[in-house]
Amino acid sequence: MKLKAVKWTLAILFLAPCTQAQSIWDTTHLANVKQSIGEPFYATAYQALKEEADQTLDTQPLSVMMKEKTPASGDKHDYMSQARYYWPDPTKPDGLPYINRDGVSNPELNKLDRNRLGVTANRITTLALAWYFSGDEKYARKATELIRVWFLNKATRMNPNLEYAQVTPGHNNDKGRCYGLIDTYSFVEMLDAVALLEQSKSFTAKDSKQLKAWFTRLTDWMLTSQQGKEEATGANNHSVAYDAQIIAFSLYTGNKKQAQRVIDAFPERRIFPQIEPDGRQPHELRRTLAFHYSQYNLTHFIDIMLMAKKLGSNIDNATSTDGRNFYKAMDFLAPYVGKSLVEWPYQQISGWEHSQQNLCKDLYRTATYLNPARKDYLQLYYAHRILEPQDSFNLLYVKATETDHAYAFAAGQLELAMKCADKAKKEEKNAAKRRVIPRSIHKDGSLAMIHPHDWCSGFFAGSLWQMYAYTHNDYWRQSAISWTWPIEESKWHKGTHDLGFMMYDSFGKAYELTGERSYLDVVLQSAQTLITRYSPKVKSIRSWDHNRDKWKYPVIIDNMMNLEMLFRATQLTGDSVYWKVAVNHANTTMKNHFRPDYSSYHVVDYDPETGEVRMKCTHQGNSDDSFWSRGQAWGLYGFAMCYRFTKDPAYLEQSENIADFFLNLPNMPADGVPYWDMKMDIIKDCTPEKINPDVPRDASAAALIASGLYELCTYVSPEKGKQYKTVADKIVSNLHKHYQAAPDTHYGFLLLHSTGHHPGGSEIDVPLNYADYFYLEALARKEALNIK
């Protein structure tokens, strides 16, 4: 027992310095990221972090002794910077005194200490994180070297004061201004990184003691100096940044009482005076960068509130008697996320997009670490953030979901897919037949490319558009554009019923995401072309033109999926002809394609003269009366989609019944990924746990079912919706864990183990581009539900 107690004591002592010293970072989150550092979402940011750290290893440490000027004190150890927005007066021979040009930075400040301080703090932060995540001591050694040079060594160290920060030449005897105290804000995050270094071999107890003493002296100077006192009485973001530094430095040095005093006074001193009852921040709004400074101030608010939470104080909800609070300020800015600059009623002379992205990060931090009830903030974040995979924010704050990891994996695969497809379409066998889109993998292991008229031609571009929808990164928009337009000619192709698949999943996605008229024109022409295949007598769209000796007017269950483009065409044009065709087709399919148990025939053949049913059979299923898995999925998904547009309860009931039948089959594999057909003698004795590994599965059907269930679950009762979502979650999780291709393999396809046309001996146990498309769609729908 004694040995066990000693072990627990040592463990607590080992963790304590890191846990106690963290201020704005969350120790538990960092530990979780470290455990998952090889997962796709984190791996890219981690690699970028290490590359940045590696570039720093051979750099010369920076110090205050490197500046070109000497402060008025005559001591180069005194930090010196220049006021950012002050410029020489062009009407004066010597330019003195300098005059203000708000929002326009003077490059002269590069000659002094401010940039070097920021670079040093950032390098220390990067190196400490690289050490923490990798365990490689070389990063800790370099970080410690930089700390010693800037803060500790007698020959190079900065004096712990800001007497000459933000000097304005020609003013105040060239002494610094109170506003200069914001120059050291990068130390707040840096000290969180230093807290990690406490566990390294390189950063010694002596280093720690000396650095804490240095920050104690700086904090004392900030509290007692004339500049510090003036900054403390400020009315804008500077006073908030001042408080944040006092709290962070006090926490680092162990003075929790001092930190708590500032926190306790914060609502009355900063929140209520700076935020109006309607959420405006008047002192920030009068600036030429009004949005930037309003957002920037909120970043400081969030930092303080995160630090306060560490001490058990929840001040984010502090509200004055007339309704002033932090969330009012957030809510004032939030409606402008995703809007154009012209809609902002104040000045913002530059940096609009950058400030928007910074606010997105503020929204995420607030909803994730301060107030999880604010799902609306998360929705705004995901709707408008531009995901940069290399951003360290992803490591420090983002609690990556299964969807995040799956999309990060997909990003790498789709980049490979584009390279492989670009190469393949230039090969003579493909170029001669204008095969320009990747579809699957041939039996000989080569990449299967297809013509624009192939029913699968739109899915690859559609997957790229889904990447753009998830990331909002222009790289994916440009990529999607380049793979969308090569199939444009298909808008005239009257020989297929699959124009919905081909053109709505590509051009339709493009229009929904960009609003560009050129995409809409293609969609509308495609809808016009599609309805030429409609028969008023049969009240359905004809599927195939082949095998005319067997069928007269075949309609397949797959055709339900093409109706979405027709419903949207009516919404976009006001012309009801498309809607009527879609509704008639859905009604005819509902009447004739399903058995009493709601299993589906694949093909129903009609007499084109009378509209009567001639035959019910299969083409891709095991037998005429079997349960072809993808056919069941088309029906489930298709009728849920029809309900979305029409709100006809018959369609909802049909989708539910199909789902209930198929999901409750006694031989359905436990992972939710069905056999290619669920009614075959070879699997009749199978159970969820007892599977037949020799029978091919169909990951494409599973992805379709999951995506359809995510939509269906939003229409049914809460109890049933929860059941459907649970099944969909299980399917998606298993596809993610067990059906994804290994990274950088299989020509960039995402999912393995799909089945295309088993009776025809085609595409058995292979990747398929439509499996990838509906997998990405299912992931996105899952994430959207989770943040509601």
Q: Is position 465 within any domain?
A: yes
Tell whether residue 551 is among the known ligand binding residues: no
Q: How many CB atoms lie within 10 A of CB 664?
A: 8
DSSP notation for 395-411: HHT----HHHHHHHHHH
Q: pLDDT tens, 217-276?
A: 999 999 999 999 999 999 999 999 999 999 999 999 999 999 999 999 999 999 999 999
Amino acid at position 713, single letter: C
266: enclosing H helix or E strand: helix 256-266
Buried b (16+ CB within 10 A) or exposed e, 429-456: ebeeeebbbbbbbeeeeebbbbbbebbb
Helix 474-484 to helix 402-424 angle (10° resolution) is 40
DSSP letter at 439 equals: E
754 lies in a domain?
yes
Question: In the prediction, which pLDDT does 107 show?
Answer: 78
pLDDT surpassing 60 at residue 20: no
Residue 306 near residue 324 (C-beta atoms within 8 A): no
14 within domain boundaries: no
User: CA-to-CA distance for 87 and 269, rounded, in angstroms?
Assistant: 33
| Across 594-620, average pLDDT | 97
Of 41, 70, 195, 61, nearest to 129 by C-alpha is 195
Asked whether residue 253 is assigned to any structural domain, the reply reads no
The strand pair at 80-82 and 164-167 is best described as parallel
End-to-end CA gap in the chain = 49
pLDDT tens-digit profile of 155-199? 999 999 999 999 888 787 888 899 999 999 999 999 999 999 999
**Mean predicted confidence (pLDDT) in 565-584:** 98
> Which residue, 606, 593, 600, is CA-closest to 534?
606
Crossing angle between the packed helical segments 256-266 and 290-310, to the nearest 10 degrees: 130
Mean pLDDT of 419-423: 98
* Residue type present at position 399: K
- Measured between alpha carbons, how far is 465 from 506 in angstroms, rounded to an integer? 7
Q: How far apart are CA 52 and CA 57, in angstroms?
A: 9
19 residue type, one letter: T
Distance of CA 617 to the CA centre of its chain: 44
Q: Using an 8 Å Cβ cutoff, are 219 and 188 in contact?
A: no
DSSP for residue 235:
S
Buried b (16+ CB within 10 A) or exposed e, 50-65: bebbbebeeeebbbbe
Q: 507: closest CA among 473, 484, 477?
A: 484
Residue 3 has pLDDT above 60, yes or no: no
CB atoms within 10 A of CB 547: 11
Number of structural domains, the chain?
1
- The answer to whether the beta carbons of residues 199 and 133 sit under 8 Å apart is no
Residue 137, pLDDT > 90, answer yes
CATH code: domain of residue 752: 1.50.10.10
For residues 36-53, give the mean pLDDT: 98
Q: What is the pLDDT of residue 409?
A: 98
Would you state the pLDDT for residue 56? Answer: 98
In a domain, 150, yes or no: no
Cα–Cα distance list, 42 to 129, 400, 413, 661 (Å): 13, 8, 16, 40
Residue 680 has pLDDT above 70, yes or no: yes
Distance CA 274, CA 320 (A): 12
Residue 539 is predicted with a pLDDT of 98
CA–CA distance, 208 with 190 (Å, rounded to integer): 14
Residue 399 · residue 39 · CB < 8 Å: no
The widest CA-to-CA distance across the chain, in whole angstroms, is 102
**Is 671 annotated among the ligand-binding residues?**
no
Q: Say whether 516 sits in a helix, a strand or coil.
A: coil
pLDDT at 15: 39
Active site residue 498: yes
What the block records as the tokens of 429 is 């066998």
Helix, strand or coil, per DSSP, at residue 691: coil
- Examine residue 666 and say whether the peptide bond preceding it is cis (omega within 30 degrees of 0): no
Both tokens assigned to 353:
């997009």
pLDDT value of residue 21: 54
Burial of 721 by CB count in 10 Å (0-12 exposed, 13-18 middle, 19+ buried)? middle
Residue 57 inside a domain? The answer is: no
Q: Is the confidence at residue 7, as pLDDT, over 70? A: no
Question: Would residue 102 count as lying in a domain?
Answer: no
What domain range includes position 773? Answer: 404-786
Q: Is the pLDDT of residue 148 over 70?
A: yes
Say if 293 falls within a structural domain: no
Sign of CA dihedral 617, 619, 625, 628: negative
Please give the average per-residue pLDDT across 458-468, as a whole number: 98
Strands 554-556 and 603-606: antiparallel
CB of 773 closer than 8 Å to CB of 459: yes
- Catalytic residue from among 78, 243, 498, 772: 498
Asked if residue 218 lies in contact with residue 211, where contact means CB atoms within 8 angstroms, the answer is no
Residue located via tokens 């969030």: 302
| Helix, strand, coil percent values for the chain (each to nearest 5) | 60, 5, 35
- Statement: residue 19 has pLDDT above 70: no
Confidence grade of residue 60 (pLDDT, cut at 50, 70, 90): very high
Average pLDDT, the chain: 95
Annotated active-site residue 549? The verdict is no
Q: Is 498 annotated as a binding residue?
A: yes
Mapped onto helix, strand or coil, the DSSP state of residue 338 is: coil
pLDDT tens column, 522-540: 999 999 999 999 999 999 9
The mean per-residue pLDDT over the stretch 84-96 comes to 84
Q: Which residue has better confidence, 548 or 532?
A: 532
What is the token pair recorded at 771? 């499996």
H/E stretch holding 74 reads none
Residues above pLDDT 70, as percent of the chain: 97
pLDDT surpassing 70 at residue 65: yes
